[in-house]
Amino acid sequence: MAETLDKLGQNETFDVVVIGAGGAGMSAALVAAIDGARVLLVESTEYVGGTTAFSAGTTWIPASMHAASVNRDDTSAIAEGFLNRAVGGHSSAAMRKAFLEAGPKAVAHIEANSEVKYRARPFHPDYLSEVEGSTLRGRALEPLPFDGRKLGRAFSLIRPPIPEFTVLGGMMVDRDDVGHLLNMTKSFASFGHAAKLLARHARDRLSSPRGTRLVMGNALIGRLLYSLLQRGVTVLTGTKVEAVHTGANGIEGVTLSCVNERRRVAVKGGVILASGGFNRHSTRRGEMLPGADPAWCPGAPGHTGNAQDLALAAGARFGEGALSNAFWAPVSVRTRADGTTAVFPHFIMDRGKPGMITVNKTGKRFLNENTSYHLFGIAMQRANKSAPAVPAYLVTDSEGLRKYGLGMVRPGGKGLAPFLADGYLVEGRTLDELAGKLGIDKAGLADSVARNNRYAQTGVDADFQRGTTDYQNANGDASWTGPNKCLGPIGQAPFYAVRLYPGDIGAATGLVTDTDARVLNRDDQPIGGLYACGNDMQSVMGGVYPGPGITLGPGLAFGYLAARHAAARARQPSSAALTDARDEALTLPIDLQSPAHAR
Protein backbone atom coordinates (compact mmCIF):
# COMPACT_ATOMS: atom_id res chain seq x y z
CA MET A 1 0.00 0.00 0.00
CA ALA A 2 1.47 3.34 -1.07
CA GLU A 3 0.43 6.31 1.02
CA THR A 4 2.23 9.00 -0.98
CA LEU A 5 2.30 9.50 -4.72
CA ASP A 6 6.08 9.28 -4.99
CA LYS A 7 5.89 5.61 -4.01
CA LEU A 8 4.00 4.79 -7.19
CA GLY A 9 5.97 3.87 -10.27
CA GLN A 10 5.48 5.79 -13.51
CA ASN A 11 2.86 4.05 -15.71
CA GLU A 12 1.99 1.62 -12.93
CA THR A 13 -1.13 -0.36 -13.84
CA PHE A 14 -4.32 -0.74 -11.78
CA ASP A 15 -7.48 -2.57 -12.66
CA VAL A 16 -9.73 0.09 -11.12
CA VAL A 17 -9.04 3.67 -10.05
CA VAL A 18 -11.59 5.37 -7.79
CA ILE A 19 -11.56 9.16 -7.52
CA GLY A 20 -12.93 10.31 -4.18
CA ALA A 21 -12.81 8.62 -0.79
CA GLY A 22 -16.25 9.35 0.63
CA GLY A 23 -18.77 6.65 1.44
CA ALA A 24 -19.62 5.89 -2.19
CA GLY A 25 -16.02 5.87 -3.43
CA MET A 26 -14.72 3.75 -0.58
CA SER A 27 -17.58 1.29 -1.05
CA ALA A 28 -16.83 1.04 -4.78
CA ALA A 29 -13.14 0.51 -4.10
CA LEU A 30 -13.91 -2.20 -1.57
CA VAL A 31 -16.29 -4.07 -3.90
CA ALA A 32 -13.72 -3.98 -6.70
CA ALA A 33 -11.05 -5.31 -4.33
CA ILE A 34 -13.39 -8.07 -3.14
CA ASP A 35 -13.78 -9.06 -6.79
CA GLY A 36 -10.00 -9.46 -7.05
CA ALA A 37 -9.14 -6.19 -8.77
CA ARG A 38 -6.01 -4.20 -8.07
CA VAL A 39 -7.46 -0.91 -6.83
CA LEU A 40 -6.16 2.62 -6.39
CA LEU A 41 -8.26 5.00 -4.27
CA VAL A 42 -7.43 8.70 -4.76
CA GLU A 43 -8.56 11.47 -2.40
CA SER A 44 -7.80 15.14 -2.95
CA THR A 45 -7.95 16.18 0.73
CA GLU A 46 -5.85 15.03 3.66
CA TYR A 47 -8.64 12.82 5.04
CA VAL A 48 -10.83 9.98 3.79
CA GLY A 49 -14.53 10.04 4.53
CA GLY A 50 -15.86 13.12 2.76
CA THR A 51 -19.21 14.41 3.94
CA THR A 52 -20.14 10.83 4.91
CA ALA A 53 -17.78 11.20 7.88
CA PHE A 54 -19.84 14.20 9.06
CA SER A 55 -23.16 12.44 8.60
CA ALA A 56 -25.24 9.99 10.61
CA GLY A 57 -24.07 7.28 8.21
CA THR A 58 -27.66 6.22 7.48
CA THR A 59 -28.02 4.17 4.31
CA TRP A 60 -31.47 3.82 2.70
CA ILE A 61 -31.72 0.33 1.20
CA PRO A 62 -35.23 -1.19 1.06
CA ALA A 63 -35.64 -4.97 1.41
CA SER A 64 -32.11 -5.59 2.65
CA MET A 65 -31.08 -8.65 4.63
CA HIS A 66 -31.69 -6.64 7.82
CA ALA A 67 -35.17 -5.35 7.04
CA ALA A 68 -37.07 -8.38 8.28
CA SER A 69 -35.69 -7.91 11.80
CA VAL A 70 -37.90 -4.84 12.21
CA ASN A 71 -40.38 -4.99 9.31
CA ARG A 72 -41.36 -8.25 7.63
CA ASP A 73 -43.97 -6.65 5.40
CA ASP A 74 -41.81 -4.40 3.24
CA THR A 75 -40.71 -5.45 -0.25
CA SER A 76 -38.81 -3.93 -3.16
CA ALA A 77 -42.09 -3.71 -5.07
CA ILE A 78 -43.66 -1.61 -2.30
CA ALA A 79 -40.57 0.59 -2.20
CA GLU A 80 -40.67 0.97 -5.97
CA GLY A 81 -44.26 2.16 -5.81
CA PHE A 82 -43.34 4.59 -3.06
CA LEU A 83 -40.49 6.07 -5.12
CA ASN A 84 -42.65 6.24 -8.24
CA ARG A 85 -45.17 8.33 -6.32
CA ALA A 86 -42.65 10.40 -4.33
CA VAL A 87 -40.11 11.07 -7.09
CA GLY A 88 -42.08 10.50 -10.28
CA GLY A 89 -40.72 12.22 -13.37
CA HIS A 90 -37.84 13.88 -11.54
CA SER A 91 -35.68 10.79 -12.24
CA SER A 92 -35.54 7.72 -14.45
CA ALA A 93 -37.79 4.85 -13.36
CA ALA A 94 -35.25 2.40 -14.81
CA MET A 95 -32.50 3.89 -12.67
CA ARG A 96 -34.66 3.68 -9.55
CA LYS A 97 -35.41 0.04 -10.30
CA ALA A 98 -31.71 -0.69 -10.78
CA PHE A 99 -31.02 0.89 -7.39
CA LEU A 100 -33.71 -1.18 -5.66
CA GLU A 101 -32.39 -4.40 -7.24
CA ALA A 102 -28.73 -3.71 -6.53
CA GLY A 103 -29.06 -2.27 -3.01
CA PRO A 104 -29.82 -5.50 -1.11
CA LYS A 105 -27.18 -7.36 -3.12
CA ALA A 106 -24.60 -4.71 -2.29
CA VAL A 107 -25.33 -4.91 1.44
CA ALA A 108 -25.13 -8.71 1.47
CA HIS A 109 -21.97 -8.79 -0.66
CA ILE A 110 -20.04 -6.20 1.28
CA GLU A 111 -21.04 -7.59 4.69
CA ALA A 112 -20.09 -11.14 3.72
CA ASN A 113 -16.65 -10.09 2.54
CA SER A 114 -15.53 -7.22 4.79
CA GLU A 115 -15.73 -5.58 8.20
CA VAL A 116 -18.55 -3.28 7.03
CA LYS A 117 -21.62 -4.19 9.10
CA TYR A 118 -25.05 -2.61 9.22
CA ARG A 119 -28.20 -2.91 11.30
CA ALA A 120 -31.74 -1.69 10.78
CA ARG A 121 -33.00 1.10 13.01
CA PRO A 122 -36.03 -0.11 15.00
CA PHE A 123 -37.91 3.10 14.17
CA HIS A 124 -36.82 5.47 11.40
CA PRO A 125 -39.70 6.67 9.21
CA ASP A 126 -39.47 7.67 5.61
CA TYR A 127 -39.55 11.47 5.42
CA LEU A 128 -42.52 11.52 3.05
CA SER A 129 -44.50 9.25 5.34
CA GLU A 130 -47.78 10.58 3.96
CA VAL A 131 -47.03 9.01 0.57
CA GLU A 132 -48.46 5.54 -0.08
CA GLY A 133 -45.80 2.86 0.27
CA SER A 134 -43.77 4.63 2.94
CA THR A 135 -42.59 2.74 6.00
CA LEU A 136 -41.78 3.54 9.61
CA ARG A 137 -38.87 1.13 9.84
CA GLY A 138 -36.63 -1.28 7.96
CA ARG A 139 -35.26 0.77 5.08
CA ALA A 140 -32.82 2.90 7.07
CA LEU A 141 -29.62 1.02 7.89
CA GLU A 142 -26.93 2.33 10.21
CA PRO A 143 -23.32 1.14 10.59
CA LEU A 144 -22.38 -0.71 13.73
CA PRO A 145 -20.02 1.25 16.01
CA PHE A 146 -16.35 0.66 15.25
CA ASP A 147 -13.24 0.64 17.41
CA GLY A 148 -10.88 3.07 15.70
CA ARG A 149 -7.92 1.64 17.58
CA LYS A 150 -7.93 -1.29 15.14
CA LEU A 151 -6.65 1.09 12.47
CA GLY A 152 -3.45 1.95 14.28
CA ARG A 153 -1.75 4.92 12.61
CA ALA A 154 -4.34 4.91 9.83
CA PHE A 155 -6.91 6.20 12.34
CA SER A 156 -5.56 9.68 11.63
CA LEU A 157 -6.72 9.37 8.01
CA ILE A 158 -10.42 9.51 8.97
CA ARG A 159 -12.02 12.93 8.70
CA PRO A 160 -13.05 13.94 12.23
CA PRO A 161 -16.73 14.67 12.85
CA ILE A 162 -18.08 18.20 13.11
CA PRO A 163 -16.75 19.34 16.52
CA GLU A 164 -20.13 20.73 17.54
CA PHE A 165 -21.58 17.21 17.17
CA THR A 166 -19.14 15.82 19.75
CA VAL A 167 -18.85 16.28 23.51
CA LEU A 168 -15.98 16.51 25.97
CA GLY A 169 -13.36 17.27 23.39
CA GLY A 170 -14.00 14.73 20.66
CA MET A 171 -16.29 12.05 22.09
CA MET A 172 -18.71 10.89 19.42
CA VAL A 173 -22.28 10.14 20.44
CA ASP A 174 -25.20 8.76 18.45
CA ARG A 175 -28.91 9.25 19.03
CA ASP A 176 -29.03 6.43 21.60
CA ASP A 177 -26.07 7.85 23.50
CA VAL A 178 -27.66 11.30 23.63
CA GLY A 179 -30.76 9.87 25.28
CA HIS A 180 -28.69 8.07 27.90
CA LEU A 181 -26.55 11.11 28.63
CA LEU A 182 -29.61 13.31 29.11
CA ASN A 183 -31.19 10.74 31.45
CA MET A 184 -28.11 9.55 33.32
CA THR A 185 -29.35 11.02 36.61
CA LYS A 186 -32.84 9.54 36.14
CA SER A 187 -32.15 5.95 35.12
CA PHE A 188 -29.72 3.29 36.34
CA ALA A 189 -29.50 1.88 32.80
CA SER A 190 -28.68 5.31 31.40
CA PHE A 191 -26.17 5.97 34.15
CA GLY A 192 -24.37 2.71 33.38
CA HIS A 193 -24.33 3.41 29.65
CA ALA A 194 -23.03 6.95 30.18
CA ALA A 195 -20.40 5.79 32.66
CA LYS A 196 -18.98 3.34 30.13
CA LEU A 197 -18.85 6.03 27.44
CA LEU A 198 -17.08 8.48 29.72
CA ALA A 199 -14.57 5.92 30.99
CA ARG A 200 -13.72 4.83 27.44
CA HIS A 201 -13.28 8.42 26.34
CA ALA A 202 -11.03 9.20 29.29
CA ARG A 203 -8.77 6.29 28.32
CA ASP A 204 -8.77 7.39 24.68
CA ARG A 205 -7.64 10.91 25.49
CA LEU A 206 -4.51 9.58 27.18
CA SER A 207 -3.18 8.54 23.77
CA SER A 208 -5.41 10.11 21.11
CA PRO A 209 -6.51 13.65 20.22
CA ARG A 210 -10.11 12.43 20.07
CA GLY A 211 -12.29 9.48 20.95
CA THR A 212 -11.66 6.22 19.12
CA ARG A 213 -15.16 4.83 19.63
CA LEU A 214 -16.61 5.64 16.23
CA VAL A 215 -20.34 5.86 15.55
CA MET A 216 -22.56 7.02 12.68
CA GLY A 217 -20.68 8.22 9.58
CA ASN A 218 -17.27 7.92 11.20
CA ALA A 219 -18.03 4.28 12.02
CA LEU A 220 -18.94 3.55 8.42
CA ILE A 221 -15.75 5.22 7.15
CA GLY A 222 -13.67 3.45 9.79
CA ARG A 223 -15.06 0.07 8.77
CA LEU A 224 -14.54 0.81 5.08
CA LEU A 225 -10.96 1.98 5.60
CA TYR A 226 -10.10 -1.03 7.76
CA SER A 227 -11.52 -3.35 5.11
CA LEU A 228 -9.68 -1.58 2.27
CA LEU A 229 -6.37 -1.86 4.06
CA GLN A 230 -7.00 -5.53 4.76
CA ARG A 231 -7.58 -6.03 1.02
CA GLY A 232 -4.35 -4.24 0.09
CA VAL A 233 -6.01 -1.30 -1.65
CA THR A 234 -3.62 1.58 -2.33
CA VAL A 235 -4.99 4.74 -0.71
CA LEU A 236 -3.59 8.15 -1.67
CA THR A 237 -4.62 11.33 0.14
CA GLY A 238 -3.76 14.90 -0.80
CA THR A 239 -3.67 13.80 -4.44
CA LYS A 240 -5.50 15.36 -7.38
CA VAL A 241 -6.50 14.06 -10.78
CA GLU A 242 -4.79 16.26 -13.34
CA ALA A 243 -5.85 14.45 -16.50
CA VAL A 244 -7.63 11.41 -17.83
CA HIS A 245 -6.26 9.69 -20.93
CA THR A 246 -8.38 8.13 -23.63
CA GLY A 247 -7.54 5.55 -26.23
CA ALA A 248 -9.24 2.95 -28.37
CA ASN A 249 -10.93 1.44 -25.33
CA GLY A 250 -12.10 4.67 -23.76
CA ILE A 251 -10.57 5.87 -20.50
CA GLU A 252 -7.27 4.05 -20.14
CA GLY A 253 -5.26 6.09 -17.68
CA VAL A 254 -5.00 9.08 -15.39
CA THR A 255 -2.33 11.56 -14.40
CA LEU A 256 -2.17 12.30 -10.68
CA SER A 257 -0.39 15.13 -8.91
CA CYS A 258 0.62 15.90 -5.34
CA VAL A 259 2.77 18.93 -4.46
CA ASN A 260 5.75 18.51 -6.82
CA GLU A 261 5.06 14.89 -7.77
CA ARG A 262 3.24 13.74 -10.88
CA ARG A 263 2.47 10.17 -11.92
CA ARG A 264 0.73 8.69 -14.91
CA VAL A 265 -1.20 5.53 -14.05
CA ALA A 266 -2.59 2.97 -16.46
CA VAL A 267 -6.14 1.69 -15.89
CA LYS A 268 -7.37 -1.60 -17.29
CA GLY A 269 -10.97 -1.76 -16.07
CA GLY A 270 -12.10 1.77 -15.47
CA VAL A 271 -12.13 4.98 -13.51
CA ILE A 272 -14.98 5.48 -11.03
CA LEU A 273 -15.79 9.09 -10.20
CA ALA A 274 -17.01 9.56 -6.63
CA SER A 275 -15.56 12.96 -5.78
CA GLY A 276 -18.66 14.39 -4.12
CA GLY A 277 -20.25 16.57 -6.76
CA PHE A 278 -20.15 20.22 -7.81
CA ASN A 279 -20.99 22.01 -4.54
CA ARG A 280 -17.66 23.85 -4.20
CA HIS A 281 -16.97 24.25 -7.91
CA SER A 282 -15.57 27.68 -8.74
CA THR A 283 -18.29 28.58 -11.25
CA ARG A 284 -20.88 25.80 -11.39
CA ARG A 285 -22.01 26.40 -7.81
CA GLY A 286 -23.13 29.91 -8.67
CA GLU A 287 -24.92 28.68 -11.78
CA MET A 288 -26.72 25.78 -10.12
CA LEU A 289 -27.25 27.14 -6.59
CA PRO A 290 -27.85 30.86 -7.08
CA GLY A 291 -28.02 32.83 -3.85
CA ALA A 292 -26.64 30.03 -1.68
CA ASP A 293 -23.52 31.33 0.03
CA PRO A 294 -20.73 28.71 0.12
CA ALA A 295 -20.25 29.65 3.77
CA TRP A 296 -23.59 27.97 4.50
CA CYS A 297 -22.49 24.58 3.14
CA PRO A 298 -21.80 22.07 5.95
CA GLY A 299 -20.24 19.51 3.61
CA ALA A 300 -16.64 18.39 3.55
CA PRO A 301 -14.24 20.49 1.43
CA GLY A 302 -13.38 18.00 -1.32
CA HIS A 303 -16.43 18.31 -3.59
CA THR A 304 -14.92 20.81 -6.02
CA GLY A 305 -16.33 19.26 -9.21
CA ASN A 306 -12.89 19.09 -10.85
CA ALA A 307 -13.27 15.40 -11.65
CA GLN A 308 -16.64 16.11 -13.23
CA ASP A 309 -14.97 18.74 -15.44
CA LEU A 310 -12.72 16.03 -16.84
CA ALA A 311 -15.74 13.83 -17.51
CA LEU A 312 -17.53 16.68 -19.28
CA ALA A 313 -14.47 17.22 -21.45
CA ALA A 314 -14.64 13.53 -22.35
CA GLY A 315 -18.21 13.95 -23.57
CA ALA A 316 -20.28 13.43 -20.42
CA ARG A 317 -23.29 15.57 -19.56
CA PHE A 318 -25.23 16.67 -16.52
CA GLY A 319 -28.74 15.41 -15.83
CA GLU A 320 -31.87 17.53 -15.93
CA GLY A 321 -35.31 17.59 -14.37
CA ALA A 322 -34.49 17.32 -10.67
CA LEU A 323 -36.74 19.05 -8.14
CA SER A 324 -33.61 20.81 -6.89
CA ASN A 325 -29.96 20.70 -7.91
CA ALA A 326 -28.96 20.01 -4.31
CA PHE A 327 -30.21 18.54 -1.06
CA TRP A 328 -30.74 21.05 1.74
CA ALA A 329 -30.87 21.58 5.47
CA PRO A 330 -31.36 24.68 7.62
CA VAL A 331 -28.02 25.61 9.19
CA SER A 332 -26.74 28.11 11.72
CA VAL A 333 -23.28 29.61 11.44
CA ARG A 334 -20.73 30.65 14.05
CA THR A 335 -17.04 31.60 14.07
CA ARG A 336 -15.02 29.29 16.30
CA ALA A 337 -12.32 30.48 18.68
CA ASP A 338 -9.64 29.37 16.20
CA GLY A 339 -11.18 31.50 13.43
CA THR A 340 -12.72 28.63 11.46
CA THR A 341 -16.42 28.60 10.62
CA ALA A 342 -18.81 26.18 12.26
CA VAL A 343 -21.83 25.31 10.12
CA PHE A 344 -24.42 23.41 12.15
CA PRO A 345 -27.22 21.51 10.36
CA HIS A 346 -30.52 21.60 12.24
CA PHE A 347 -31.72 18.09 11.49
CA ILE A 348 -33.97 16.93 14.34
CA MET A 349 -32.77 18.11 17.74
CA ASP A 350 -34.54 21.47 18.01
CA ARG A 351 -36.69 22.99 15.25
CA GLY A 352 -39.42 20.33 15.34
CA LYS A 353 -39.81 20.22 19.10
CA PRO A 354 -42.69 21.77 21.10
CA GLY A 355 -42.16 25.43 21.91
CA MET A 356 -40.11 26.14 18.75
CA ILE A 357 -41.23 28.26 15.80
CA THR A 358 -39.45 29.64 12.74
CA VAL A 359 -40.29 33.12 11.45
CA ASN A 360 -39.17 35.45 8.66
CA LYS A 361 -38.22 39.13 8.72
CA THR A 362 -41.86 40.11 9.24
CA GLY A 363 -42.05 37.91 12.33
CA LYS A 364 -44.41 35.49 10.58
CA ARG A 365 -44.19 31.72 10.32
CA PHE A 366 -43.88 30.58 6.72
CA LEU A 367 -43.46 26.79 6.92
CA ASN A 368 -44.10 23.63 8.88
CA GLU A 369 -41.15 23.39 11.25
CA ASN A 370 -41.46 19.59 11.36
CA THR A 371 -41.05 19.03 7.65
CA SER A 372 -37.89 17.28 6.48
CA TYR A 373 -34.69 19.31 6.53
CA HIS A 374 -34.57 19.17 2.73
CA LEU A 375 -38.06 20.64 2.30
CA PHE A 376 -37.28 23.14 5.06
CA GLY A 377 -34.30 24.44 3.08
CA ILE A 378 -36.32 24.62 -0.13
CA ALA A 379 -39.18 26.41 1.67
CA MET A 380 -36.77 29.04 2.98
CA GLN A 381 -35.57 29.85 -0.52
CA ARG A 382 -39.05 29.92 -2.02
CA ALA A 383 -40.45 32.10 0.77
CA ASN A 384 -37.53 34.50 0.43
CA LYS A 385 -38.82 35.54 -2.99
CA SER A 386 -41.87 37.24 -1.46
CA ALA A 387 -40.69 38.22 2.05
CA PRO A 388 -37.16 38.05 3.49
CA ALA A 389 -36.75 34.54 4.94
CA VAL A 390 -32.96 34.17 4.63
CA PRO A 391 -31.95 34.32 7.33
CA ALA A 392 -34.95 32.91 9.13
CA TYR A 393 -35.17 32.92 12.91
CA LEU A 394 -35.66 29.86 15.10
CA VAL A 395 -37.38 31.15 18.25
CA THR A 396 -38.02 29.53 21.63
CA ASP A 397 -38.26 30.43 25.31
CA SER A 398 -36.11 29.55 28.31
CA GLU A 399 -37.91 26.23 28.80
CA GLY A 400 -37.44 25.21 25.19
CA LEU A 401 -33.78 26.10 25.35
CA ARG A 402 -33.34 24.14 28.56
CA LYS A 403 -35.08 21.02 27.26
CA TYR A 404 -33.87 20.85 23.68
CA GLY A 405 -31.01 23.29 23.21
CA LEU A 406 -30.82 25.56 20.18
CA GLY A 407 -28.37 24.66 17.44
CA MET A 408 -24.87 24.67 18.90
CA VAL A 409 -26.28 25.55 22.33
CA ARG A 410 -26.78 22.24 24.07
CA PRO A 411 -29.75 21.34 26.29
CA GLY A 412 -29.58 22.42 29.92
CA GLY A 413 -29.70 26.19 29.53
CA LYS A 414 -26.15 26.70 30.83
CA GLY A 415 -22.95 28.07 29.33
CA LEU A 416 -24.77 30.67 27.25
CA ALA A 417 -22.33 33.54 27.74
CA PRO A 418 -19.99 32.88 24.77
CA PHE A 419 -22.91 32.28 22.39
CA LEU A 420 -24.57 35.51 23.50
CA ALA A 421 -21.30 37.44 23.34
CA ASP A 422 -20.60 36.63 19.70
CA GLY A 423 -24.23 37.03 18.61
CA TYR A 424 -24.85 33.42 17.60
CA LEU A 425 -27.57 33.22 20.26
CA VAL A 426 -29.85 36.24 20.72
CA GLU A 427 -31.70 36.79 24.00
CA GLY A 428 -34.61 39.07 24.89
CA ARG A 429 -36.30 39.61 28.24
CA THR A 430 -39.50 40.10 26.26
CA LEU A 431 -40.59 39.12 22.78
CA ASP A 432 -40.44 42.77 21.76
CA GLU A 433 -36.86 43.03 22.96
CA LEU A 434 -35.93 39.84 21.10
CA ALA A 435 -37.56 41.13 17.91
CA GLY A 436 -35.71 44.42 18.26
CA LYS A 437 -32.35 42.71 18.60
CA LEU A 438 -33.08 40.49 15.59
CA GLY A 439 -34.36 43.40 13.53
CA ILE A 440 -37.71 41.73 12.79
CA ASP A 441 -41.27 43.00 13.10
CA LYS A 442 -42.39 43.05 16.75
CA ALA A 443 -46.11 42.78 16.08
CA GLY A 444 -45.56 39.92 13.63
CA LEU A 445 -43.53 37.93 16.15
CA ALA A 446 -46.03 38.56 18.94
CA ASP A 447 -48.86 37.36 16.69
CA SER A 448 -46.94 34.25 15.59
CA VAL A 449 -46.23 33.28 19.20
CA ALA A 450 -49.84 33.90 20.22
CA ARG A 451 -51.13 31.73 17.38
CA ASN A 452 -48.62 29.00 18.24
CA ASN A 453 -49.75 29.04 21.87
CA ARG A 454 -53.38 28.61 20.86
CA TYR A 455 -52.44 25.71 18.59
CA ALA A 456 -50.48 24.12 21.43
CA GLN A 457 -53.69 24.05 23.48
CA THR A 458 -55.87 22.59 20.74
CA GLY A 459 -53.22 20.36 19.16
CA VAL A 460 -54.14 21.67 15.70
CA ASP A 461 -51.81 23.92 13.70
CA ALA A 462 -54.33 25.71 11.50
CA ASP A 463 -51.58 27.45 9.52
CA PHE A 464 -49.11 24.71 8.56
CA GLN A 465 -50.47 21.43 9.99
CA ARG A 466 -47.53 20.50 12.20
CA GLY A 467 -47.73 17.01 13.64
CA THR A 468 -50.02 15.51 10.98
CA THR A 469 -47.67 12.80 9.64
CA ASP A 470 -45.74 9.95 11.23
CA TYR A 471 -42.44 11.54 10.26
CA GLN A 472 -43.35 14.88 11.82
CA ASN A 473 -44.48 13.25 15.04
CA ALA A 474 -41.31 11.17 15.19
CA ASN A 475 -39.32 14.40 15.38
CA GLY A 476 -41.53 15.94 18.04
CA ASP A 477 -41.18 15.07 21.73
CA ALA A 478 -42.62 11.67 22.63
CA SER A 479 -42.62 12.64 26.30
CA TRP A 480 -44.62 15.83 25.72
CA THR A 481 -48.00 15.73 27.49
CA GLY A 482 -49.78 18.15 25.18
CA PRO A 483 -52.25 17.01 22.50
CA ASN A 484 -49.67 17.40 19.69
CA LYS A 485 -46.08 16.13 20.10
CA CYS A 486 -44.84 18.94 17.88
CA LEU A 487 -46.64 21.90 19.47
CA GLY A 488 -45.90 23.57 22.79
CA PRO A 489 -46.32 27.06 24.23
CA ILE A 490 -43.70 29.80 24.13
CA GLY A 491 -44.04 31.99 27.19
CA GLN A 492 -41.29 31.61 29.78
CA ALA A 493 -38.91 34.55 29.61
CA PRO A 494 -36.22 35.15 28.58
CA PHE A 495 -36.71 34.34 24.92
CA TYR A 496 -34.05 33.12 22.49
CA ALA A 497 -33.35 32.80 18.78
CA VAL A 498 -30.69 31.72 16.30
CA ARG A 499 -30.47 32.66 12.62
CA LEU A 500 -31.03 29.94 10.02
CA TYR A 501 -29.72 29.75 6.46
CA PRO A 502 -30.37 27.23 3.64
CA GLY A 503 -27.28 25.01 3.56
CA ASP A 504 -26.63 22.58 0.72
CA ILE A 505 -25.67 19.18 2.12
CA GLY A 506 -25.02 17.40 -1.18
CA ALA A 507 -25.48 17.53 -4.93
CA ALA A 508 -28.59 16.07 -6.53
CA THR A 509 -27.69 16.96 -10.12
CA GLY A 510 -24.72 15.09 -11.52
CA LEU A 511 -23.43 13.09 -14.47
CA VAL A 512 -25.91 10.98 -16.42
CA THR A 513 -25.20 7.25 -16.21
CA ASP A 514 -26.80 3.99 -17.24
CA THR A 515 -27.95 1.24 -14.89
CA ASP A 516 -24.37 -0.07 -14.57
CA ALA A 517 -23.23 3.42 -13.48
CA ARG A 518 -21.38 3.91 -16.78
CA VAL A 519 -21.18 7.59 -17.66
CA LEU A 520 -23.14 8.38 -20.82
CA ASN A 521 -22.17 10.84 -23.54
CA ARG A 522 -24.45 13.28 -25.31
CA ASP A 523 -25.67 10.48 -27.59
CA ASP A 524 -26.61 8.30 -24.61
CA GLN A 525 -23.70 5.95 -25.29
CA PRO A 526 -21.37 4.76 -22.50
CA ILE A 527 -17.95 6.38 -22.36
CA GLY A 528 -15.74 3.32 -22.16
CA GLY A 529 -14.10 2.81 -18.78
CA LEU A 530 -15.75 5.81 -17.08
CA TYR A 531 -18.20 5.37 -14.20
CA ALA A 532 -19.83 7.64 -11.62
CA CYS A 533 -21.53 7.09 -8.30
CA GLY A 534 -22.41 9.05 -5.19
CA ASN A 535 -22.97 12.76 -5.70
CA ASP A 536 -20.95 12.80 -8.92
CA MET A 537 -23.86 10.88 -10.46
CA GLN A 538 -27.32 12.23 -11.27
CA SER A 539 -29.39 11.30 -8.23
CA VAL A 540 -31.99 8.57 -8.69
CA MET A 541 -34.05 10.57 -6.20
CA GLY A 542 -34.28 13.49 -8.62
CA GLY A 543 -33.67 16.14 -6.00
CA VAL A 544 -36.45 14.70 -3.80
CA TYR A 545 -35.62 13.51 -0.28
CA PRO A 546 -38.05 10.65 0.43
CA GLY A 547 -36.24 9.05 3.36
CA PRO A 548 -33.15 9.00 5.58
CA GLY A 549 -29.92 8.00 3.83
CA ILE A 550 -31.06 8.54 0.24
CA THR A 551 -27.59 9.69 -0.81
CA LEU A 552 -25.58 6.93 0.87
CA GLY A 553 -28.00 4.19 -0.21
CA PRO A 554 -27.70 4.87 -3.94
CA GLY A 555 -24.00 5.63 -3.43
CA LEU A 556 -23.50 2.09 -2.14
CA ALA A 557 -25.74 0.47 -4.76
CA PHE A 558 -24.25 2.18 -7.81
CA GLY A 559 -20.74 1.99 -6.37
CA TYR A 560 -21.31 -1.76 -6.22
CA LEU A 561 -22.57 -1.86 -9.82
CA ALA A 562 -19.73 0.32 -11.12
CA ALA A 563 -17.07 -1.68 -9.28
CA ARG A 564 -18.28 -5.06 -10.44
CA HIS A 565 -18.58 -3.88 -14.05
CA ALA A 566 -15.15 -2.24 -14.02
CA ALA A 567 -13.51 -5.24 -12.33
CA ALA A 568 -15.02 -7.58 -14.93
CA ARG A 569 -13.88 -5.24 -17.70
CA ALA A 570 -10.34 -5.41 -16.36
CA ARG A 571 -10.37 -9.17 -16.80
CA GLN A 572 -11.24 -8.90 -20.49
CA PRO A 573 -8.24 -9.18 -22.86
CA SER A 574 -9.64 -6.37 -25.03
CA SER A 575 -9.31 -3.91 -22.16
CA ALA A 576 -5.79 -2.89 -23.05
CA ALA A 577 -3.52 -0.90 -20.80
CA LEU A 578 -2.56 2.69 -21.45
CA THR A 579 -1.85 3.45 -25.09
CA ASP A 580 1.18 5.41 -26.22
CA ALA A 581 1.77 9.10 -25.79
CA ARG A 582 -0.26 9.92 -28.91
CA ASP A 583 -3.56 9.36 -27.07
CA GLU A 584 -5.78 12.25 -26.09
CA ALA A 585 -5.28 13.78 -22.64
CA LEU A 586 -8.16 15.65 -21.04
CA THR A 587 -6.51 18.00 -18.60
CA LEU A 588 -7.35 20.52 -15.93
CA PRO A 589 -4.80 23.17 -14.88
CA ILE A 590 -3.10 22.11 -11.67
CA ASP A 591 -0.69 24.25 -9.69
CA LEU A 592 1.94 21.77 -8.63
CA GLN A 593 3.48 24.31 -6.28
CA SER A 594 0.29 24.71 -4.24
CA PRO A 595 0.29 23.09 -0.81
CA ALA A 596 -1.31 19.69 -0.48
CA HIS A 597 -1.46 17.20 2.36
CA ALA A 598 0.08 13.83 1.68
CA ARG A 599 0.70 10.84 3.87
Query: What is the per-residue pLDDT for 574?
Result: 61
DSSP letter for each residue of 486-536: T-----SSSEEEEEEEEEEEEES--B-B-TT-EEEBTTS-EEEEEEE-GGG
Query: What is the per-residue pLDDT for 577?
Result: 39
Query: What is the per-residue pLDDT for 166?
Result: 79
3-state secondary structure of 107: helix
DSSP-assigned letter for residue 20 = -
Q: Using CA atoms, how far apart are residues 486 and 508, in angstroms rounded to an integer?
A: 29
The strands making up 59-60's β-sheet, listed across from edge to edge, are 59-60, 140-143, 118-120
Query: What is the per-residue pLDDT for 439?
Result: 98
Tell me the CA end-to-end span of the chain in Å, nearest whole number: 12
Query: What is the per-residue pLDDT for 586?
Result: 53
Q: Using CA atoms, how far apart are residues 78 and 327, in angstroms rounded to an integer?
A: 24
AA letter at 96: R
Query: What is the per-residue pLDDT for 157?
Result: 96
- 330-345 residues labelled b (16+ CB within 10 A) or e (exposed): bbbbbeeeeeeebbbb
Q: Using CA atoms, how far apart are residues 432 and 439, in angstroms rounded to an integer?
A: 10
Per residue in 519-538, pLDDT (tens digit) is 999 999 999 999 999 999 99
Task: Identify the segments of the chain with pLDDT beneath 50.
Answer: 575-585, 587-599
Q: Using CA atoms, how far apart are residues 294 and 568, in angstroms rounded to an integer?
A: 40
Q: What is the pTM of this model?
A: 0.93
Query: What is the per-residue pLDDT for 599?
Result: 32
What are the C-alpha distances in Å from 553 to residues 57, 110, 454, 531?
A: 10, 13, 41, 17
Q: Using CA atoms, how far apart are residues 251 and 566, in angstroms rounded to an integer?
A: 11
AA letter at 153: R
Domain 327-504 has CATH 1.20.59.20: no
Q: Are 256 and 42 in contact (CB under 8 A)?
A: yes
Burial class (CB in 10 A: 0-12, 13-18, 19+), 29: buried
3-state secondary structure of 93: helix
